[in-house]
Amino acid sequence: MRTRVFLSALIACAMPAGVHAQNELEPVRAWTGGGFQIAAPVGEFDSYVNTGWGVGGHFLIKLDATGFLGIRADAGYLNYGRETRRVCLSPTVGCRIEVDLTTSNDIAYFNLGPQLTLALGPVQPYINASLGFAYFATVSSVEGSGGSNEPFARTTNFDDFTFAWQLGTGVRIPLSSGGTPISLDFAARFNTNGEAEYLREGGIIDHPDGSISLDPVRSEANLVTVQIGVTVGVRW
């Protein structure tokens, strides 16, 4: 009898403690994540370049208890053209040593702005808008022809910087909850980069004497990006 009374007392003490510990779990105050992107050029940009790819990441801070209003920062990298060809290392060495010369046409971006999120049960659609910049750069690098070496020389052939703004929408679909909530994140965004000057594939012309000529294009450089990724809730 005494044993049963003692066990009942222990259970009665443990249950409130467990409930209290569960209630002390901090709310999700921010979301961070990233994913893979497909970038489709639109307007004038579509006349000069093909569909690209890239990666992006974001950080969202909730400004109210419901999470309806937040401030979101995005950053990412997009590639819209890439060429690789095997060349001789130098006129002095000749073609006894060959290297891979890779030229990459890239866009780096960063933007910041508000996001509105609707908590419709577990599925949370959102819209956002932001201001920032886009950096267009064409970079050539050289690495061993085996393809397993790190580049040992790199040159930025051409670059340009533009101010940009974006409009986006997406939806978060939860995968897990608890201490570290994780969600799938599907998003689409219209990226207005304004008018930029950039190189496309074939925009660098090599001459027999080793010199080069650049053939840049100046046009609007707008994109639509579609991203699939994950977001992770942050508590503090």
pLDDT digits (tens, 9 = 90+) for 212-234: 899 999 999 999 999 999 999 99
pLDDT digits (tens, 9 = 90+) for 119-152: 877 899 999 999 999 999 999 998 876 656 677 8
Classify 63 as helix, strand or coil.
coil
Is residue 35 a contact partner of residue 82, using CB atoms and an 8 Å limit? no
**215 Cβ partners below 8 Å, 6+ apart?**
199, 202, 203, 204, 205
Prediction pTM value: 0.83
Give me the mean pLDDT over the 156-182 stretch: 93
Q: How confident is the model at residue 99, as a pLDDT?
A: 86
Interstrand relation of 124-144 and 195-198 (parallel, antiparallel or unpaired): unpaired
Nearest to 184 by CA among 34, 39, 51: 34
Domains of the chain: 28-235 (2.40.160.20)
User: Cα separation of 74 and 59, whole Å?
Assistant: 7
Tokens of 11: 């259970």
